[in-house]
Structure 1
């Protein structure tokens, strides 16, 4: 029997890596990396606190700057095309901050989590497959597959992407 992690790894290679190199997504990561290249940990923490404070509020400019973009629309389109297999997608920049997301995440900074430390910080071949966990909000078992995101023009490591997969459909 093929384990969920192996199925997730195969799905990422076969179905996700292609659209993960979409020009609109890559350009969004490049642009944010330029804006954030001088960012300190204190700056990151301040933005992460702002994100958390905006959760559930009608006015949420930081959250909107991530989820209300063409790059995030692309992610939502991929979820729809997956017929329920993909449950969520978010893309991180070179410091681990969200660039695009299919939905609102609980925090803005992913840089201290395995989805970033085991991908971006491991280089171009970085890959992290989580354990299967029950997602309370979605009421399903999910596995997260995260991998390093490379600039297709020159192979430069520019960020990371996390794809939530419905473990029951793998």
Structure 2
């Protein structure tokens, strides 16, 4: 894989049968699965899940509201904390190495909160979205393909989300979402 557009603002879902198809090639899905087993991912998720085990739904929603407010503020302590984490640096490196094929990637805790990301997301809590519910919510080895969207650039993109399983325990500990530029993948693979 080859770099780096960021964000998904202004995207519109494509109508029709292609919207639900898994258009991200299987080799890319397996690459995301490999990323999910990186020690940085596993250490971060284990520590975050342990530290925040007793987090209530009200606290999760407050954190999400804080995040949303910070996206339009000069003061961004929560966003800076997540973007400054080693896990975010790892994901940003994967994005940069992709040559534009990987638009963004983020890792979510067992609560559905972002613990690492390659670009700022519009919200902090993903737990109420299909990307989390259809991956983490379905247990080990679950994979969810989002709808194919057309970005502001006019290029097609799709998110793929996978459950992250702790290899020591076999238990789901989080999820990872990666969004790919389908048109660039088709161009570089000759499809």
Task: Calculate the TM-score normalised by the size of structure 2.
Answer: 0.81
Cα distance in 2 for residues equivalent to 1:97 and 1:17: 19
Cα distance in 2 for residues equivalent to 1:25 and 1:112: 22
**Aligned pair partner of 2:178 in 134, 143, 163:** 163
| 8 Å contact from structure 2 (residues 112, 132) kept in 1 | yes
Pair 1:142 & 2:157 matched: yes
Cα distance in 2 for residues equivalent to 1:119 and 1:6: 14
Question: What does residue 77 of structure 2 align with?
Answer: 61
Cα distance in 1 for residues equivalent to 2:101 and 2:126: 23
TM superposition shift of 1:139: 5.2
Q: Could you give the per-residue CA deviations for residues 32-56 of structure 1, whole angstroms, max 9, x where no partner exists? A: 1112211111011100000011113
Q: Which stretch has the larger CA shift, 64-73 or 101-110?
A: 64-73
**Aligned pair partner of 1:73 in 81, 84, 89:** 89
**Aligned pair partner of 1:101 in 109, 117, 130:** 117
Question: What does residue 134 of structure 2 align with?
Answer: 118
The verdict on how the C-alpha distance between 1:106 and 1:67 changes in structure 2, with shifts beyond 3 A counting, is same
Task: Calculate the TM-score normalised by the size of structure 1.
Answer: 0.91
- Which consecutive residues of structure 1, in runs of 5 or more, have no partner in the other structure? none
Cα distance in 1 for residues equivalent to 2:127 and 2:28: 21
Question: What does residue 3 of structure 2 align with?
Answer: none
Pair 1:14 & 2:7 matched: no
Greater relative contact order, per chain length (Cα 8 Å cut-off, separation 6+): 2
Q: Could you give the per-residue CA deviations for residues 112-142 of structure 1, whole angstroms, max 9, x where no partner exists? A: 0000010111000221101110223x65321
| 8 Å contact from structure 2 (residues 23, 158) kept in 1 | no
Question: What does residue 54 of structure 2 align with?
Answer: 38
TM superposition shift of 1:94: 0.3
Cα distance in 1 for residues equivalent to 2:46 and 2:162: 17
Cα distance in 2 for residues equivalent to 1:135 and 1:143: 10
RMSD (Å), alpha carbons = 1.7
| 8 Å contact from structure 2 (residues 29, 160) kept in 1 | no
